[in-house]
Chain A
Amino acid sequence: MTQSTAVVPGGRRVPRNVTRRRVVSAVMIVLTYLAAAAATLPLIFILANLLRQGVGSLHWHFFTSMPKPVGEEGGGMANAIAGTLMLITIASAIGLPIGIGAGLFLAEQRGTRVANVVRFLSDVLNGLPSIVVGIFAWQLLVRPFHHFSALAGGIALAVMMIPIVARTTEEMIRLVPVSLREAALALGYTRWRTSLSIVLRSALPGIVTGALVAVARIAGETAPLLFTAFGNQFWSTSPGQPIAALPLQIFSYAISPYDDWHAQAWAGALVLIALVLVISVSARFATRSRYGRGHD
């Protein structure tokens, strides 16, 4: 062994055989190529399946009709699509202002102890399982009132949006040059007007991106809705009533034993993924064109 190895600083034994080392290196590099190829395969498979199965079952009445019982032709998910848009609207109306406000705080109080703690807790909140957020909203907003509601669903989704929006807002405000803020203050702007109409405004495209990323994240959320929005086979846009949602409808059709409903689930999944991908891809390109590289 002493002949075939040398000890390098750090104590590791390195084989002297250069050919063997080169071969090992080449093999390991090829393995990383294979890992990268394998990591992209699931996405390609899933998208291919979605397109093949989904396009076939997607007719115009999918967007305009209500769900129909098994065996009846031509049902759709009009109520679920409307419900998802409604839930996104409620969640955004609550989550975006709070998230952006928290992001402004984090950026302006940067380095203070409070900001560090809030930033850390925001990451913790972001890491909570969505089902736990669902239980929380159920216990607080459904149980005391004895009925499920779109409002409870929207609030649960808003809770999931806030940490995402807060962190992207903070990052985007950091990209605004300090000189801009100083120039505004030197011209006699008050601090609050500087923050809102100069700093926030210059960071706006980035903040819009952050908001889109957050919407994309919650649009397909299902678990919190099981406990809050609950789903609805009928048309409803009332915030106080249970409401249908695309992910809930996909879930209940997917676990059913019927081929008709599986086809509907594929179509629903295709619509959902199109919604999510269009939002996240446009978010990515919106920032890239401004700052030169994608940011997420």
Chain B
Amino acid sequence: MNTADAGDRAYRVTVAAMAMVVPLLLLLVSVEVVRAGWPALHRFGIAFFTRSAWDAVNGDFGAAPAVYGTIVSSILALVLATPLAVGSALFLSEFAPRWLQQPVAFLVDLLAAIPSVVYGLWGILVLIPWLRETVMPFLADTLKLGNTPLFSGPAYGNSMLAAGIILAIMILPYIAAVTREVLLAVPRSQREAALALGATRWEMIRDAVLPHARSGIIGGIILGLGRALGETMAVTMVIGNTHEISASLFSPGYTMASQIANEFSEATNDMHISALMAVGAGLFAITLVVNLLARWLVSRVAGERTA
């Protein structure tokens, strides 16, 4: 029996050790990323994220334009993706005929399987020419929005708008999947009670289903936000990569992730590299907070079902 005990112990220890790799990795990632950016963080302090200088020759760096671009492109993506994601999830959970449910859910889910670099390729060669020749002139001239700060300036194509649209497509499947889950978690009786009281089908959704699923849906949206904040390749390929803050969505810009990806291979000195890594450390901190918030919100609703 002794060998059996030894075997059991060896198994338990091995499996536990493998499980401990997960917290260890998370710890290592935080330590290494901060260590990589330390020279810049130490030199400029927390003000690094609010300064807008970016002078590789004189070693003067600040991440404000990248932080600004990250926030603007992600918010734009949420504004575009949320109605479509929630609408399509409502369609799938409430209205779709049975035979349509699986195929439509499958198509939306597949969006999540497309690699970022393929989105980027499509963005450069299809989306940007279309924006430049059709959408931007339409917004600026036909709708006469060209004088508003949001849509002013020349239409190059490479822009914050292009980044927001690509990001919206990329995060849509994540928001849709979580929303579908939490809608399915709303008890049937809730719907039946609303209908029995004489509500129309929309009133049932608005008054009985959505309030019940609300914090889960918000969790899904924040999860999508987490994806959008850290998305790299597709954004790098369409945003124009300019270290500037501009109010216009037609202007090129930077996000934190795209600045790192774009400048890493051509960074010339240690301080430049370190400044890029400090941007990475900031990105790590932001996405960590956003993800923790999202997990907490989703687990409050769907906890009994999925956790």
What CA separation (Å) do A43 and B200 show in the bound complex? 33
Interface of A is mostly: helix
- Of B3-11, B51-59, B136-144, the segment with at least 4 beta carbons within 8 Å of chain A is B3-11
Q: Among A44, A106, A128, A250, which residue has the most Cβ atoms of chain B within 10 A?
A: A128
What CA separation (Å) do A31 and B94 show in the bound complex? 13
What CA separation (Å) do A277 and B111 show in the bound complex? 11
What CA separation (Å) do A227 and B90 show in the bound complex? 41
Contact B202 A28 (CB under 8 A): yes
- Whether, in the assembled complex, B115 has its beta carbon less than 8 Å from a beta carbon of chain A, the answer is yes
Residues of A within 8 A of B17 (CB): 101
B126 to A, closest residue via Cβ: A49
A-B contact count (CB 8 A): 270
Contact A132 B287 (CB under 8 A): yes
Residues of A within 8 A of B233 (CB): 222-223, 247, 251
Contact B257 A250 (CB under 8 A): no
Contact B22 A166 (CB under 8 A): yes
- Whether, in the assembled complex, B196 has its beta carbon less than 8 Å from a beta carbon of chain A, the answer is no
- Whether, in the assembled complex, B150 has its beta carbon less than 8 Å from a beta carbon of chain A, the answer is no
Contact B117 A124 (CB under 8 A): no
Contact B124 A220 (CB under 8 A): no
- Whether, in the assembled complex, A286 has its beta carbon less than 8 Å from a beta carbon of chain B, the answer is no
- Whether, in the assembled complex, A177 has its beta carbon less than 8 Å from a beta carbon of chain B, the answer is no
- Of A60-68, A85-93, A268-276, the segment with at least 4 beta carbons within 8 Å of chain B is A268-276
Residues of B within 8 A of A14 (CB): 203
* A-contact bits for B274-307, CB 8 A (1 contact / 0 none): 0001001001100110011011000000000001
Closest CB of chain B to A293's CB: distance in Å?
9
- Of B61-69, B223-231, B246-254, the segment with at least 4 beta carbons within 8 Å of chain A is B223-231
Residues of A within 8 A of B71 (CB): none
Closest CB of chain B to A264's CB: distance in Å?
11
Contact A102 B18 (CB under 8 A): yes
User: Which residue of A12, A36, A221 contacts B92 across the interface (Cβ within 8 Å)?
Assistant: A36
Residues of A within 8 A of B10 (CB): 192
Residues of B within 8 A of A115 (CB): 19
Number of residues in B with C-beta < 8 Å to the partner?
92
Closest CB of chain B to A247's CB: distance in Å?
5
Contact B114 A273 (CB under 8 A): yes
Residues of B within 8 A of A138 (CB): 36
Residues of B within 8 A of A258 (CB): none
- Whether, in the assembled complex, A237 has its beta carbon less than 8 Å from a beta carbon of chain B, the answer is no
Contact B288 A219 (CB under 8 A): no
Closest CB of chain B to A262's CB: distance in Å?
6
Contact B260 A131 (CB under 8 A): yes
Contact A222 B116 (CB under 8 A): yes
What CA separation (Å) do A222 and B265 show in the bound complex? 14
A102 to B, closest residue via Cβ: B19
Give the interface residue-count category, chain A: 35 or more
Residues of A within 8 A of B205 (CB): 28
Residues of B within 8 A of A129 (CB): 229-232, 257, 283-284, 287
- Whether, in the assembled complex, A296 has its beta carbon less than 8 Å from a beta carbon of chain B, the answer is yes
- Of B42-50, B101-109, B184-192, the segment with at least 4 beta carbons within 8 Å of chain A is B101-109
Contact B32 A216 (CB under 8 A): no
What CA separation (Å) do A224 and B19 show in the bound complex? 23
Further 4 A-B residue pairs, CB within 8 A, beyond A49-B126, A108-B15, A128-B287:
A102-B19, A130-B232, A139-B33, A139-B36
Interface residues of A (CB under 8 A from B): 8, 10, 12, 14, 21-22, 24-25, 28-29, 31-36, 38-40, 42-46, 49-50, 53, 97-98, 100-102, 104-106, 108-109, 114-115, 117-125, 127-133, 135-136, 138-140, 143, 159, 162-163, 166, 190-193, 195-196, 216, 219-223, 226-227, 247, 250-251, 254-255, 262, 265-266, 269, 272-273, 276-277, 280, 284, 294, 296
Q: List 22 A-B contacts (CB under 8 A).
A: A35-B83, A36-B108, A46-B114, A98-B21, A100-B18, A101-B19, A109-B19, A117-B23, A124-B26, A125-B26, A128-B29, A129-B231, A131-B260, A132-B280, A132-B283, A132-B287, A138-B36, A143-B36, A162-B25, A191-B8, A250-B118, A273-B114
Interface residues of B (CB under 8 A from A): 4, 7-8, 10-12, 14-23, 25-26, 28-29, 32-33, 35-36, 83-88, 90-92, 94-96, 102, 104, 106-111, 113-122, 124-126, 169, 172, 176, 197, 200-203, 205, 207, 223, 226-227, 229-233, 237, 257, 260-261, 264-265, 277, 280, 283-284, 287-288, 291-292, 294-295, 307
